[in-house]
Amino acid sequence: MRTWLQGLLRADRLLLLVPLLVAVAGLVLGTLVLAVHFDEPWPPLMWAGACLSCGLLVGFLFGIPKVLQETAPVAVAPAGATAPAAGAPGRGYRQVLNTNLEQVSDWLTKIIVGVGLVELRRLPDHLDRAATLVATGAGDPVGDHSIATALILYFSIAGFLGAYLATRLHLARAFALADQAAQQTLGEILGMLDVEARATVTRAHAADTADGAAAASPLPTAEERVVAERVAKRASELDPGSLEDELAKLVAEFERLHTQDPRGAARLSERERVVAKMRLLGLACWDMLPRLVGSRSLGQRMAALAFLQLRPDPHHHAWIADRFREEASRFVVYHAGLALLHAAEQASTTDELKRLRELHARAKEAYARFARPGGSETASLLDKVERALQAAPTDAPAAG
């Protein structure tokens, strides 16, 4: 409490409060004059409130700050480049602040100024008719006409100035502080993603595998789960689209890496790092899963597999098994094996285990087209899935 008072009593903030205090004092004085002058003060007070509200609205519209945002240039694809698949994020995609209120304010202020200039000659007539209505409501259309005119002008102007000053001096500052706090929170989240993703890749085996995927931890680690929960908790402090924007960037980065030469431990580690970041966003962006699953974009389907590695969902087990038949990328198929293994480890009902055994058989049959002499990491994953399903308790409860 003391800190708040000290901040409020700072000289620069007191200077900001002076215009508002003057406006409030003027409103109080005008209200007292109305109450003393009129025998029936309630109708004039209602009119004063109406004029004040109109002035406040117009002052607020005129005072809304304009947000300047950098517009990222749209990258032009080189000749012969393949167009991105439908549903895939553009390479120049970025999130900007929502300026709908600013645009509405801009339109309305232009309309108000335009109509005011057109009707400027008739303004005295309109004011006279309005004053007559106020004075008639007060009971003396002749004697109170001048007071009614002053009432309309006084409270309209006072409301305009009060709202304009409050918006320009305080609301603009509040908007800026809120945006800066959101950017700071987003930066902290991205820092957590980067640190944990690098740690995940470091924990993974460095050797390449026969099917072109770097060996990785078979299941999400406890550290990854903790970070994913922290990210989901901090996401409530951000705009809904902030983390969707970051996921779109990861999808674009994954697709860029996928189109390049996939060989080499360094390139594979980069892709594993991107997938690890996708997995850490799984809880915060879980609502996007249906859209990712149905996407034609390889990167978005990879994000869906990363989400399902973190949190198995029985409704998408069949979709995971279909990756072995429909995906041409060995890397994506390998991660489908990771998601299927996690689903087998977490299965808890008889019906789910039975369904997973059927899907495992389908996936194993479909993977035969990728098989190479000497085996592969994906084939080893499918063997682990089979062992996990065999080791599951036979007396597991049936699905309710």
Q: What is the pLDDT of residues 158-210, one digit of tens each?
A: 888 888 877 887 777 777 777 777 777 778 888 888 887 777 777 655 444 43
Q: Is residue 92 over pLDDT 90? A: no
Q: Alpha-carbon distance 43 to 69, whole Å?
A: 47
Which pLDDT value is given to residue 304? 94
Instruction: Say what the pLDDT of residue 119 is.
Output: 77
**Is the domain of 219 the same as that of 144?**
no
The pLDDT value recorded for residue 100 is: 67
Instruction: Answer whether residue 189 is part of any domain.
Output: no
| H-state helical runs in 167-259 | 172-203, 222-235, 242-259
Please indicate, yes or no, if residue 3 is contained in any of the structural domains.
no
What pLDDT sits at residue 240? 65
Across the range 2-19, mean pLDDT stands at 52
Does one domain contain both 166 and 221? no
Under the banding of pLDDT at 50, 70 and 90, the label for residue 345 is confident
What is the rounded average pLDDT for all residues in the chain?
75
Domain, as residue range, for 102: 11-67+89-177
Question: Of the spans 62-76, 140-154, 257-271, 291-305, which averages the highest pLDDT?
Answer: 291-305
> Domain ends where: 177, 194, 221?
177
* Three-state SS annotation for 253-267: HHHHHHHCCCCCHHH
Mark whether 158 and 215 lie in a shared domain.
no
Please check whether residues 113 and 229 belong to one and the same domain.
no
Total domains, the chain:
2
| 382 belongs to a structural domain | yes
Domain-located, residue 195 = no
In this structure, are 242 and 364 located in the same domain?
Answer: yes
Residue 240 sits in the same domain as residue 283: yes
Q: Answer yes or no: is 191 within a domain.
A: no
Are residues 306 and 380 both part of a single domain? Answer: yes
Q: Which of 54, 46, 64 shows the shortest CA–CA distance to 156?
A: 54
In a domain, 74, yes or no: no
Distance CA 273, CA 271 (A): 5
Same domain? 54 vs 121: yes
* CA–CA dist 38, 178 (Å, integer): 46
155 pLDDT higher than 80: yes
Does residue 228 form part of some domain?
A: yes
The pLDDT value recorded for residue 397 is 57
Q: Which of these, 51, 54, 41, lies nearest to 131 by C-alpha position?
A: 51
* Residue 292: per-residue pLDDT: 94
| pLDDT reading at 340 higher than 80 | yes
Same domain, 237 and 97: no
**113 and 209 inside one domain:** no
Least confident of 62-76, 85-99, 107-121, 256-270: 85-99
Same domain, 245 and 160: no
The mean per-residue pLDDT over the stretch 109-114 comes to 82
Q: Do 169 and 226 fall into the same domain?
A: no
Q: Point out the domain boundary residue: 130, 162, 177.
A: 177
